[in-house]
Amino acid sequence: MPTATVRDDIPLARRTVSPALRRRGALRRGLLGAGVLLAGVAALWIVFPQPLRRLLAPPPVQGLNARPGLDGRLLGHFPYAEVPASELVAIAPGVQLQVDAAEALQAMQRAATADGVDLRVLSAFRSIALQKHLFFDVKSERNQSAQERAMVSAPPGYSEHSTGYAVDLGDGREPGTNLSRSFETTAAYGWLRANANRFHFHLSFPDGNPQGVSYEPWHWRFEGSAAALRTFEAAQRLSR
């Protein structure tokens, strides 16, 4: 049998590379390329960790001399993104929280009321724009340095309030203790210490916290969802 005839007997499909196979080849080359790139970045990360991390760190706050540290913290505060507006719900006129945190907070307030405690919300979600005002305008009003101000208020982009998960709580019967250390002497604070964890609220800045942020007995954050836990993972890791 002549050679040409034998070749012609091979079905066409076996003699050419099918488009599907060609696509698979391209995909494999693409994956290999991505793998090499990732390995390169990982190697650079190991050899030059500081410059790379600083490069990837969020930009420093405008008007603030301090630079974020290697763990991303600026003057003690971790960076936080602003919660999407679609996840916010009103818990009072002009007061908003992330929807899961809002439900838990309202359940917690009902339980407090049942125990004769008047738990008041003093501050909840704050946009990054509002935090900017609270940080810079109040700082100049009080003639504070950025470092001094950061002890009592997070720089914009670094506040737990922007996540929609954090609340400042007060005792309705002792408004004179609002946002002050003396809040820890109130019935509301005692009740929170005993019960807040059941509603997945935790004190963010206890006395002597490793973040170096001043003690805030009134500031509680919600950690009762996977998303909330992810949000505060770095802060939790530091406090362990």
Residues that bind Zn ion (CB under 5 A): 168, 219
Closer to Zn ion by Cβ: residue 115 or 207: 207
Closer to Zn ion by Cβ: residue 57 or 121: 121
Shortest separation between residue 161's beta carbon and Zn ion, angstroms? 6
Q: What are phi and psi of 157, to 5 degrees?
A: 90, -5
Closer to Zn ion by Cβ: residue 178 or 191: 178
Closer to Zn ion by Cβ: residue 82 or 168: 168
């190991």: which residue's tokens? Answer: 46
Residue nearest Zn ion, CB atom distance: 219
Shortest separation between residue 176's beta carbon and Zn ion, angstroms? 18
Shortest separation between residue 219's beta carbon and Zn ion, angstroms? 4
Closest CA to 224 of 191, 192, 193, 201: 201
Closer to Zn ion by Cβ: residue 52 or 130: 130
Shortest separation between residue 124's beta carbon and Zn ion, angstroms? 9
Closest CA to 38 of 54, 71, 46, 230: 46
Amino acid at 85: A
- The C-alpha atoms of residue 90 and residue 100 are separated, in whole angstroms, by 12
- The C-alpha atoms of residue 9 and residue 213 are separated, in whole angstroms, by 80
Q: Are 158 and 212 in contact (CB under 8 A)?
A: no
Shortest separation between residue 53's beta carbon and Zn ion, angstroms? 28
Q: Are 187 and 171 in contact (CB under 8 A)?
A: yes
Closer to Zn ion by Cβ: residue 136 or 163: 163
Within a 10 A sphere around the Cβ of 35, how many other Cβ atoms?
Answer: 10
Q: Are 195 and 220 in contact (CB under 8 A)?
A: no
Shortest separation between residue 23's beta carbon and Zn ion, angstroms? 54
